[in-house]
Structure 1
Amino acid sequence: MPSDTVPAIPNRLREAFLRWKGGGRQGQEAMSWNRSTWQVTLPEHHDLLKSLPDRLDRTTVAARGAGAADGEAQAEQAFIAAMAWGYGPAGYGAFRTARVLRENPQAPGVLREAAQVLRRDGGATAFAWLREHRLRFLGVAFATKYLYFCNGPDAQPALILDRLVQRWLRRHADCQVRLDWRVGDYHRYLGMAYAWASELDVTPDDVEYLIFSDMLTDEPGASPWAPRQSAVGAVAGPEDDDATAVLEAIDDAAASFAALPDVSPADLEDFERGIRQLRRIVLARAGRPIKALGLVEYRS
């Protein structure tokens, strides 16, 4: 992407970077996930799921992604690890991941080839290739999570593009990007991230992480990823403790329901609809933004 088409680095990003730098450049906290739900839903991957730690961080998942280009089995395992990280404790994550794999018999081969294209030609080309070989039920947000964890040491990396990143770009960079497989939009996003990373002397994925973390200060209830103190300095007060405990209990209930045997997709969707209503009530009482909807917006 030519540099003269890249918007100037937003002041908001500079400020987020300075706070992050001043705080010791702390990385993203590890995410909890419900191992039993995933093992029940994907029993054929029991050993893989057993081997993953109780809390998943980017480094752990990237170690799985490093082998995705080597074989179909490795690519499928990398995909599952990336999805477990991306969905976190969401009760429906395992079901949606299994649906992608079971509704697309060609998925292991497609995932492997996408990783190979990524390592050879970079993130923008891999995104375009995956668009042309799209897997049913796999959207941009989670497809780019998979690609991100398959990055190699040589080609330009793929970066995560989800709703949180999308909203930040719209609000603070006056940049509209779509999440419906627009190759030009993804290329433009990568171009901005690469250029801003060079100006800040950080890596492109540092820019994506700063954008994501800063978005949590705008919408602190929008994601379970928000730590007690975010990378950009937003601190949760003690008055949030009770609401946080209730929200965690609601998420546990969703995960437990999804783990029950013989739960149909229709029942799961009905249950999640009720969970969303409960979260709205808790968020409203806690004074958190009502736009923080969904079971939670697990970086989707």
Structure 2
Amino acid sequence: MIVMPNDCFSVPNRLRELLHRWDAEGRRPQGEIGWNRTTWLASLTEHQDLLAELPDRLGRDHVTERGRRADEGENKAVRAFVTAMVWGYGRVGYGAFRTARVLRENDEAPRILREVASKTRRDGGAEAFEWLKRHRLRYLGVSFATKYLFFCSDAAASPALVLDRRVQRWLWQYAACHVSLDWNVEDYRRYLCLVTKWAQDLDLRPDEVEYLMFADDGSQRKTAEEVSEESDEFAVLDALDEAAAAFAALPGDIDPDDLEDFERGVRQMRRIVLARGFASREPEQ
């Protein structure tokens, strides 16, 4: 159960606007996600049976069905993880490579994925996040780790919500709240606290609030110049992601220390880009 601290903010006006628009549209759920089956089959040959049976377009319900069985065995946990990654990366070209790397570079991945799924369902997202930080899977960052936790979660427990770059930026711009994507347990707890409180105030589920933030396209609020600036920032961030994946995929043996140094540099450049974006826009209260 999440204890609400005194510094939980009131519901942002922007969130109320998004809910009003969502109501007017009949509360349509998130659309299904397309993905490139050929790319995933080439990168994860050992999971061809799973990838062959997935639909061409994945919806949240389909992934949730697998995620909620991830605590039943290591094989089911791995299959749930792969399915969540397919959904999370969608048509992003390097998603299959990154997913395969997590599974192949961590001998304990099946056990850890099963145990954290069980902890998510039993103890909730905050406790699972803290446990996974102590049992880190190399190459699995917060954005995609929380996607897996989300699909493994149980509605009866405290929520496990996705915390990715889009949600991070939304929180800063519309709630003056900065949360880290660097495995900061207190930041993740604070994020869950905020969303849970907002959900209660709006008579929504926490995952519905997270979806509204994630799906916010900024329409009716941003100028053309602001949209252009944010598009440029996303383009730079995507290019940095592509560079990290391309370096790791170079032919021949790569010294693990060189790979770590390269990715550390990419992380530092990513922080610089995000800081410039945050500094250029005054957060709304």
TM-score (structure 1 length as normaliser): 0.73
Q: Is 1:266 aligned to 2:250, yes or no?
A: yes
* Paired residues of 1:123 and 1:158 also in contact (CA < 8 A): yes
Q: Which digits, 9 at most, give the CA deviation of each residue in 1:135-185, with x for residues without a partner? A: 000000000000000011321120000000000000100001000000000
Tell me the matched-pair count: 232
Instruction: Choose which of 58, 68, 71 in structure 1 pairs with 2:60.
Output: 58
Q: Distance in 2 between matches of 1:160 and 1:98?
A: 21
Q: Distance in 2 between matches of 1:71 and 1:45?
A: 16
Instruction: Choose which of 102, 106, 109 in structure 2 pairs with 1:107.
Output: 109
Question: What is the percentage of aligned positions where both structures have the same residue?
Answer: 55
Instruction: Choose which of 177, 189, 192 in structure 2 pairs with 1:190.
Output: 192
CA RMSD in angstroms, aligned pairs only: 2.2
What's the CA shift for 1:3? 4.9
What's the CA shift for 1:264? 7.5
Helix, strand or coil: the match of 2:6? Answer: helix
* Paired residues of 1:145 and 1:160 also in contact (CA < 8 A): yes
Q: Distance in 1 between matches of 2:209 and 2:217?
A: 12
- Bigger RCO (CA 8 Å, 6+ sep): 1
- Matched with 2:43 is 41
Helix, strand or coil: the match of 2:15? Answer: helix
- Matched with 1:203 is 205
Q: Which digits, 9 at most, give the CA deviation of each residue in 1:6-42, with x for residues without a partner? A: 1011000011011101110001111110011111111
* Paired residues of 1:164 and 1:215 also in contact (CA < 8 A): no
Unaligned runs of 5+ in 2: 232-241, 252-276, 278-285
Q: Is 1:129 aligned to 2:113, yes or no?
A: no
TM-score (structure 2 length as normaliser): 0.77
Q: Which runs of 4+ in 1 moved over 6 A?
A: 219-223
Q: Distance in 2 between matches of 1:62 and 1:157?
A: 14
* Paired residues of 1:168 and 1:215 also in contact (CA < 8 A): no
Q: Distance in 1 between matches of 2:154 and 2:55?
A: 23
Q: Distance in 2 between matches of 1:3 and 1:200?
A: 18
Instruction: Choose which of 159, 166, 169 in structure 2 pairs with 1:167.
Output: 169
Helix, strand or coil: the match of 2:138? Answer: coil
* Paired residues of 1:65 and 1:78 also in contact (CA < 8 A): yes
Q: Distance in 1 between matches of 2:204 and 2:71?
A: 26
What's the CA shift for 1:215? 4.6
